[in-house]
A and B are shown apart, each in its own frame.
Chain A
Amino acid sequence: MSVFNPEDYWQISLKLVNQQPSDADYRTAANRAYYACHLLGCERGIIERTNSARDHSKLWEELRRRGMFWANKLEVLYRIREHADYHINSEDRDNVGCSYCKISAESMWGNAKAITEDILPRIKSMKKKDIKTPK
């Protein structure tokens, strides 16, 4: 049996942007940074996972419910990840409100990196509970 450490995704992010990164590298780095935080949060047993898209908001809601208001940063990291994964054309009508469509991929990554560096240690320091089995 092998257990993957979600934090390794964060190391992948850092590697990706290490040398002459392209926009695709920045975007992938932002995506992996989010999943490092999200999966580590889930792994701590904060929520009962459903392995569906709903888990993202559930984790945010549950952290806030427990008084961890920094969860708003995780939510913003999710939005950065969504931008990185889906927003191809900044002039698309659906992307009008997205603040990350208005800045460079490098700046977007700058935000993602600062947020991850802020919240990843907090997630890691949370007390690990028994991991709940997905329904």
Chain B
Amino acid sequence: MNEQAIHPEISNAHQELEYIAEFLGRSNARAFVEYNPILVTHKNIFVVTSSHVAKKRIAYPVVFAQNSFVSIEKANTPISSLDETEIYSLCIEELGKFASYAKKILERKGIELSKITTRRWQAIEDDSWKQCILELTLHSDSQTALCIWDELSEELDRFINIESEDLQPLLRQRLTLDVSWS
């Protein structure tokens, strides 16, 4: 394994990585990269161990192959290197998490949710304005819906605040909430 390929930040995991690289071999790692080109394109690093995935930021692409019996997840990729498709996926994933939370709030308040969707939107007049929208349709009157809309909007802000600092500006810009009633 080429030690130069490992960023100093992940030196703690060095021994495990050496083992994995030796076990899988560089060619397997390369094959994995070819099978998942996005991993290289966007400079992700996957640090795979038998028990956990170490998330570390790295300055250049190093990808280790995935063993069939170990877990793998996306490393902490710099937000600036994400393309629009990845940003969209990330935002939808975050909205999904928030949606579960929003459902619980509505349940607690005894408000019936008749429809929940997520969608992407881009302004016709300003193509830089792009949003990922959580759309909630409530079985309620307009006053109740407008009131809970304020509350959930505030909750969405709190939800964003507990995300990592480098993610917050993006989420703040992209995530929004649309509440309607029927």
Q: Which residues of A does B touch, CB under 8 Å?
A: 52-54, 56-57, 61, 64-65, 67, 69-73, 75-76, 78-79, 82, 86, 97, 99, 110-111, 114-115, 118
Contact = CB atoms under 8 A, between A and B. Distances in A.
Q: Chain B contact residues: over half helix, strand or loop, or mixed?
A: mixed
Interface string B59-74: 0000000000000000
B124 interface: yes
User: Chain B, interface size: which category?
Assistant: 20 to 34
Q: Which of B128, B146, B156 has the most chain A CB atoms closer than 10 A to its own CB? A: B146
B30 interface: no
B153 A79 contact: no
A57 B153 contact: no
Contacts of B120: 97
B157 interface: yes
Interface of B: 119-121, 123-126, 128-129, 131, 135, 142, 146, 149-150, 153-154, 156-157, 172-173, 176-178, 180
A114 B146 contact: yes
Among B120, B129, B157, B172, the one with the most A-chain Cβ atoms within 10 Å of its Cβ is: B129
Contacts of A73: 146, 149
Contacts of A111: 180
Given A61-B173, A82-B124, A111-B180, 13 more contacts: A52-B126, A54-B129, A57-B129, A65-B172, A69-B157, A70-B150, A72-B149, A72-B176, A73-B146, A75-B176, A97-B119, A114-B142, A118-B146
